[in-house]
Chains A and B, each alone.
Chain A
Amino acid sequence: MATERTRPHVGSHLFLMLLLAAFLFPVAWALLSAFKPADDIVRSPLTFDITQFTFDNYTAMFQDVPIGQGFANTAIVLLFKGAATMFLAPLAAFAFAKYQWIGKNLVFGAVLITLMLPTIVLIIPLLLEMKELGWVNTYQALILPGAVDAFAIFWMRQVISAVPDELLDAARVDGCGEFALFWRVVVPVIRPGLAGLGVLTVMNIYNDFVWPVVAASSERMATLQVVLSTLAQNITGNRIGADYATVTGELLAASSVALVPLLVLFILLQRHFINGILAGSVKG
């Protein structure tokens, strides 16, 4: 519970306000500056004249940067990888939480170990595996590794353990099959946990960068984040002799376009986000 002691001091407000400004400044500055004429962004980075606002940076950026392709690739990965995690992780977690089976402890131990390992350990061998399979620069490479996230299993196992056994037994007495038990009894009960897992999964996939840049960095396969990371090269490549102002204008426009979807989602679903982030913190 939150403590209800004395009203906070004026100093506390001042401190929090300053911090608030610092936290919102970079994003707000980028979103607003993207509408300024490119020359003004570099000439007077601190002033904003609404009457001068223009979409020029956006139109130039959409011409120079394959950002639409980036969005499309990210959307495809989100759809398949997200669906796989959201369906297969709770299903496997159900088996861990509510059944006895041979090898259960061994597999779960392996899950715990992977949770503690830094992700970078797997980058080299995974990349080689992709080469062997001929999957470099394919959707499979972006979707399959990590498609059923070990952390999601760990978290969903905890959530499903809290579902009372009596509920499951009662449903069995009513002639409910094992999969129907999962689909019709467990899933509806754990809906809040699933919502948290959902937003966390979307956030992780949307923002994922290290694996996509290693495994699928070709122009055709680049996800949104990979497109963003090579932005400057793309802009100067398409406009020989482009000056710093032009590049900066387009860069801010592209960053804004990438920021906004997740910000909107976050503002709409903040409670689920915070739940998801909290649970996700055990991932490490």
Chain B
Amino acid sequence: MTATTAPATRRAPRAGRGPRMRRRLAPYVFVLPFVAVFAAFSVYPLFFTARLSFTDWRGTGAATWVGWDNYAYLLTNPAFWASLGNSAVLWLLIVPVQIVLGVLVAVLLNNAKLRLRGLYRVAFIVPFVTPLVAVAQIWVVLFDQRYGAVNAFLGLFGLPDTGWLTTSTWAKPTLALLFLWKTTGFIVIILLSGLQSINASIYEAAELDGASRARQLWSITVPLLRRTIGFAVVLQTLAVFQMFAEPFVVTQGGPYNSTTTAGYHLYNHITRADLGTGAANSFLLVVLVMALSLLFVRLLRAKD
């Protein structure tokens, strides 16, 4: 509790009423710079988008009010649904793999007797701290059909050259691999922090009862980790549906729009200066992402 009502006599006597007044005004001065920036560059743009989404505006001239037209247009537009579909496929390729891999690695790294623990932990985080654009460029080179290291390696086993980034079959998995590579270490760290709150004596008891390691993982670790896993799933759902920089650098949304994610589709409206539709698209995306997050939170809580 703050002590704004504390008797003045308890405070430094030499300054009289001054300190009390200053104490009352201080918080306003402290938050002012933040509130100014926040209002100008977060709150105002948000209201502006809301209004913009109900207009037809090409960036110049007057905006015409079109009501729900932009939303109706998007909801009946195959390209919009295709972008959501692409993101959904990427989600399926990324999130389940990442959670399984993340839990396995976190459980192994949580064992204090593991040798080279520190090295593993650092190495798994390296991708997360590298600049995405640099890595995406490296991806383009590595997965090049004719000259890339990946096809050269597979060629050693007699496998044919694959057009990783030039065929609509492989572009999504290759992009998913980039995302997995970049963020799995981050998920491992989150899961590790969850594991560290589990009491070790539970495992000792299970061991006495003769439960195998695999059994312990499935019956103790996973259920106790459910909240942390749910948190990781929500974070990655947000990230996958907003994915933009990866397709922007690696595939420019192609081939044949197969990597035009929900986030990239939004950017397409900007480049076409179709700003009203873009604003409506971003709101639809927010609603979808929030609904998905709520769904996952519910699903993981219902079992408690």
Q: What residues of chain A have their CB less than 8 Å away from a CB belonging to chain B?
A: 1-8, 12-13, 15-16, 19-20, 22-24, 26-27, 29-30, 41-46, 84, 88-89, 91-92, 94-96, 98-101, 104, 107, 110-111, 114, 116-129, 144-148, 150, 153, 165, 169, 172-175, 177-179, 182, 203, 206-207, 209-210, 213-214, 224-225, 228-229, 231, 244-245, 248, 251-252, 254-255, 258-259, 262-263, 266-267, 270, 273-274, 277-278, 281, 284
Contacts and interface: CB of A to CB of B under 8 A. Distances in A.
Interface stretch (B73-81, B88-96, B104-112, B161-169): B104-112
B279 to A, nearest CB: 6
B275 A26 contact: no
Nearest to B178: A26
Contacts of B33: 84, 88, 91-92, 148
Given A8-B111, A172-B12, 20 more contacts: A3-B112, A4-B113, A23-B184, A26-B181, A95-B31, A98-B2, A114-B46, A120-B282, A124-B275, A126-B41, A129-B40, A148-B37, A209-B245, A228-B131, A258-B131, A259-B134, A259-B135, A266-B122, A270-B122, A277-B128
Nearest to B269: A124
A120 B141 contact: no
7 contacts: A16-B116, A41-B147, A92-B31, A124-B52, A127-B270, A210-B245, A258-B134
A28 to B, nearest CB: 10
A173 B12 contact: yes
A179 to B, nearest CB: 7
Contacts of A252: 138, 141
A148 B189 contact: no
A19 B105 contact: yes
A257 B138 CA distance: 13
Rank and list the top 8 A-B pairs by shortest CB-CB distance, nearest first.
A125-B45, A99-B27, A178-B26, A95-B27, A92-B34, A45-B149, A42-B147, A95-B30
B82 interface: no
B23 A178 contact: yes
B149 A46 contact: yes
Nearest to B104: A15
A209 B132 contact: yes
Given A7-B113, A96-B31, A173-B11, A179 B26 contact: yes
Contacts of A182: 30
A124 B282 contact: yes
A206 B38 CA distance: 21
Please report whether the interface of chain B is mostly helix, strand, loop or mixed according to DSSP: helix
Interface in B1-47: 1-4, 10-12, 14-15, 19, 22-23, 26-28, 30-31, 33-35, 37-38, 40-46
A177 B19 contact: yes
B190 interface: yes
A5 to B, nearest CB: 6
A251 B137 contact: yes
B130 A262 contact: yes
Given A8-B114, A229-B248, A251-B141, A122 B130 contact: no
Contacts of B49: 121-122, 124-125
B278 interface: yes
A124 B278 contact: yes
Contacts of B41: 122, 126, 129, 144-147
Contact of B134 (A44, A98, A107, A255): A255
A126 B279 CA distance: 11
Q: Which of B30, B40, B190, B289 has the most CB of A within 10 A?
A: B30
Contacts of A91: 30-31, 33-34
Given A46-B152, A125-B48, A209-B245, A88 B34 contact: yes
Interface string B180-206: 010011100110010010001001000
A251 to B, nearest CB: 6
A210 B244 contact: yes
A126 B45 contact: yes
Q: Which of A1, A26, A182, A263 has the most CB of B within 10 A?
A: A26
A243 B64 CA distance: 49
Given A26-B138, A91-B30, A12 B122 contact: no
B48 A110 contact: no
Contact of A5 (B113, B147, B186, B279): B113
Contacts of B125: 266, 270, 273-274, 277
